[in-house]
Chain A
Amino acid sequence: MDRAKQPRWQSLAAEPEFRALLRSRRRFVVPATIFFIVYYLALPIAAGFWPQPMSRPLLGPLTVAYCFALSQFVMAWILLALYLYRARQFDLAAARIRRRETREVLETQ
């Protein structure tokens, strides 16, 4: 993109449609990130400081620790699926902003 066709970044950043997209993205990404880091770190913390209770068999021979470790796979895949689902709306909003902006830039030429 050459310089003459640069969108007006600052005014774009202040537009309600863009702010709404940013807000809805954050509303998903921030809690999801905090959740997965806490859920993940709980595993080494629990296994490191409370090895005895974590060594109890839970599902047949599988210990609490091993079940917790396997549940991390399920957690990661569920969060992935939720994000892919939400991201379709983000894509639509981003595409609307992109289309309108490209049109305006072309019209002012």
Chain B
Amino acid sequence: MTSQPSLVMFAIFVGFTLVVTGWASGQSRTSRGFYAADRRIGGLQNGWAIAGDYVSAATFLGITGLVAFYGFDGFMYSVGWLVAYLAVLFLVAEPLRNTGKYTLADLMSFRLRGRGVRAIAAVSTLAITLFYLIAQMVGVGAIVNLLLPRFTDVVGIVVVGVLMLVYVLFGGMLATTWVQIIKAGLLLVTSIALTILAVRHFNFSLPAFFSAAASVSNGTGTSNLLQPGLLFHGPIGAWNLISLGLALVLGTAGLPHILIRFFTVPSAKAARTSVAWAMVLVGVFYLATSFMGLGAATIVGKDHIGRRMYAGQAIAHIARHPAQQSALNAQLRSQGYIVPKVDSNLAAPLLASAVGGSLLTAFVAAVAFATILAVVAGLTLTASSAFAHDIWFSLVRAGRADETEYLFVARAAALTVGALAIALSIALRGFNVAFLVGLAFAVAASANVPVILLALSWRRFSRLGAIAGMLAGLISSLALIAASPVVLGDRALFPLENPGIVSIPAGFIGAVLGTLLARDRESEAMFDQLQVRATTGLGAEV
């Protein structure tokens, strides 16, 4: 794989997005502009931007690879992540737009006034966002190594980190939104092109395509990628699948970097329109993951994908010296690196190479970079808003800061988050951090979703209930991940890889028990106002 064409294409993307950033930086000098693009993004644009924020490199490269290796079981991720938008559509998007200002904590602390709820909501936002951010940035290192072997992963992480900070610091939400839109367009075009090329390989015969996927050579025999159980099997496998499914389908409704996108549109109606567009775009993309993954398995071959797949620093070396692979892995393991058995991130680029030649591969590699860059920018903006709006403006300064101070703190927070993410990603490179994305979904589903739903629907719900619910969800999901096979391997104390099936009910139970302990008349009195505002849009932020 030559790196020249992908470098050129990536440079074009960067140049174009920097022009957009320059334009955006002249548009607004207020906190409302920085965090909410002055609420002037249209529903259609926001739908594309949500799709861009949602479909990270982990999805594009990761899910395609999971489908290539495990067929149906990998496709389960795609299904869950699309259906999850129904929860956003029915329950969260419109009330959030009608009652919030800049952050998820705004919705929770609308009737649950006081410092406690907002502080914990901000902490949970920061935790979720940071997990997500590190997972994406470490992925940069692996992809740089695979696709541009001349560069080290540190160079890749630093370049992505600095570029993302330029978008966020100078262009704020407006630039970040347009970077997402451009990237979502590129990604969708790429996925559709790969799908068409994969099916063309079978002379546009879908029966032939799926028949090939039903008998893929796995070295010793053939496996049917269309049947369940290749990744999750046995009684524990079933519970793993259900627990994962629960976290996927509820987690999106609590993901801060998706939810803050609803503050960028002018009305609840536009928020709804943007979910609708996002569901169409994301749905088409996820259908394409099925074709790209199965296509990679049948056309490229699983063995071939597997041979090229090792994380961290070993990748570039192995690509050049395949014979040293096993010796190198043993050496890496002895140095404390986690060497994944099969890391399938290269399925999409390899499919491109098999069906489209080197130019298409270069394009796919450049799109993968653009994807990471855009998602990382959105995440940094989210973390910065949780810090500046929730912790600094609302808690430390109790709402008394002026615009100049607000913007300064927002930019300083973005810079800090970005620097922290770069440093942590360099420190963690070479570790398999894929579980961090799953963790982010589990924490979002367990800590945020119960509190959002109960705050919107239960009159009696109290501040103590919100705090207990968020803490129960946050602590149980973190603790169960720490005790799971993903972290402890064979010595795991908790049998499932995803904590959702325990930690989501824990979040709900914590919230209900905390509420039943003591009445909170002040929060109950605010329920009428919340309901009227959430439903009618009266008094919504403009």
Residues on A lying within 8 angstroms of B by beta carbon are 1, 6-7, 9-10, 12-14, 18, 21-22, 25, 29, 32-33, 36-37, 40-41, 43-45, 47-49, 51, 54-55, 57, 60-63, 65-66, 69-70, 72-73, 75-77, 79-80, 83-84, 87, 91, 94, 97-98, 101-102
What chain B residues lie within 8 Å of A77 (beta carbons)? 279-280, 283
- How many Å from the CB of B15 to the closest CB on chain A? 36
Most chain B beta-carbon contacts within 10 A, residue among A18, A33, A61, A98? A61
What chain B residues lie within 8 Å of A91 (beta carbons)? 269
Question: Would you call the interface of chain A mostly helix, strand, loop, or mixed?
Answer: helix
What chain B residues lie within 8 Å of A25 (beta carbons)? 535
Q: Is the CB of B242 within 8 A of A41?
A: yes
Q: Is the CB of A83 within 8 A of B227?
A: no
Most chain A beta-carbon contacts within 10 A, residue among B80, B227, B245, B529? B227
Q: Is the CB of B227 within 8 A of A29?
A: no
What chain B residues lie within 8 Å of A45 (beta carbons)? 238, 242
CA distance A77 to B277 in the complex (A): 11
- Chain A-chain B contacts (Cβ-Cβ < 8 Å), number: 156
What chain A residues lie within 8 Å of B91 (beta carbons)? 29, 33
- How many Å from the CB of A89 to the closest CB on chain B? 12
Q: Which of A9, A48, A69 contacts B532 (CB 8 A)?
A: A9
- How many Å from the CB of A88 to the closest CB on chain B? 9
Q: Is the CB of A62 within 8 A of B210?
A: yes
Can you identify 19 A-B contacts, CB atoms within 8 angstroms?
A1-B539, A10-B529, A18-B536, A29-B90, A40-B249, A41-B242, A44-B238, A44-B241, A44-B244, A47-B228, A54-B228, A57-B214, A61-B211, A63-B224, A66-B227, A80-B86, A80-B89, A80-B276, A102-B538
Question: Who on chain B is nearest to A21 by CB?
Answer: B535
Question: Who on chain B is nearest to A36 by CB?
Answer: B86
Q: Is the CB of A7 within 8 A of B228?
A: no
- How many Å from the CB of B217 to the closest CB on chain A? 16
Which one of B229-237, B299-307, B310-318, B374-382 is at the A interface? B229-237
**B35 interface contact, C-beta 8 A:** no
CA distance A75 to B533 in the complex (A): 30
What chain B residues lie within 8 Å of A29 (beta carbons)? 90-91
Q: Is the CB of B83 within 8 A of A72?
A: yes
Q: Is the CB of A80 within 8 A of B242?
A: no
Q: Is the CB of B89 within 8 A of A41?
A: no
**B34 interface contact, C-beta 8 A:** no
The interface bits of chain B over 517-539 (1 if a CB of A lies within 8 angstroms of the residue's CB, else 0) are 00000000000110111011111
Q: Is the CB of A76 within 8 A of B272?
A: no
Q: Is the CB of A76 within 8 A of B85?
A: yes
What chain B residues lie within 8 Å of A18 (beta carbons)? 532, 535-536
Known: A22-B535, A66-B75, A77-B283. A61 touches B89 (CB 8 A): no
